[in-house]
Structure 1
């Protein structure tokens, strides 16, 4: 069972000021959670030979680590991110990141995205939605590539038991559109269906291990909360109960040195838009 002291220290970070909460979650994503997906980013870039000839747009780029890794390979990069706190963190890293305006369009005010179309568009945001993928496809040049990614099969992801905590607070009956199943898109054919529906032709993909490793329970809870997958559960259950349940779900993955590690698998798929 999670200790009262640990629960209290984590809940103290869930502040009542909504602005402070968002700012804290954005920083937790950038400092704790974002690096968990580095193996995914690197596998995509290696397989697609991302380099100096690549103009990449990251849709839902969050605080921009994936863009920095592509930039390090010589690519021209830009991003789109709806969350203002994450967007500011990405800009603080020297990245050009626009906001998503009406209909998913890129706002081009203070920090414009430099090109209207790109040779590679990535949707690494979890879980991808048909709307986000369709809007991303609009920015792919003829012959360009669109990448989508998602969790792999739940049975191959130790974090599935922890993510199930969020599902306990979903309404009965029809699936909750505000709390989608994070594993749905990663089912066989799921990512390919998203690509096809967006008007691109699936041409390949891959599977990569992305272990989630944290210094301790506190950082594990903070990192997981920063994904946004638990937002609805937090509103329904309250932060105290949610943190307690998360720490209990994480307990099987607690190591003797106090660290937490869960083995996970992610899938990605790439499609091309046929030349007109």
Structure 2
């Protein structure tokens, strides 16, 4: 389990898998990708070509090159000689278990199998691996993985501590910021935090308090702007003045408890969905999805440059 990770297999080359592939290539790794979709190779090549200028701006590792990418629609061929598998298959437990059963049989025991799953638990996934479930782990990125540093590490009931340590070191070696979950929870941590905020946004929109565009503005030009610098609890520590977080609780415990009592529990029914879709399209205006993606990535690159100077 101590051998270096130099060759990575990407299973599934959708948005997340393609972004992982671009990152691994930029870090000088050999990458073999596999996907059975008929147009998968072209879409992957196009994604990497589009992402490469941003990765050059962030800084390429020695030997980094898109030419180190191999593609095959044959899973067994894709697994040959790999040191780590980054799996990005559909979020269906039946699919995952069938795939992991096959991987467990085909791979040497020192090959880590990391899943990008955003919601399924590793305990359930690895239950299909009778031979070496200890090398299976969640390595959940945040979209797009080639730019966003966060990776959530979650072991299952049978995942070894050695696997946790090795995969964490691997991701950190790529410049990632890892967090470790000590317990499995649906959706992990970052998505749950994101979902909690979105739930209240949906509630306020559905209640007619605010428009979709104004709700987005409230987040990205208010607390969201600060969250790009540090997390909410550290920011509340600053909000407490010289007394720090302890004084913050003195000042805000009562109102915070009051706000929590009236937070909404909305349901996304047909009417709410229609209103949010209309609001998003109005907010986007004439900007295409490609335009919005480019805008997001320009801002992320600027923020990452600032964070790198800390």
Task: Tell me the TM-score normalised to structure 1 length.
Answer: 0.33
Greater relative CO, 1 or 2 (CA 8 Å, sep 6+):
1
Bigger share in helix: 2
Say which one has the larger Rg: 2
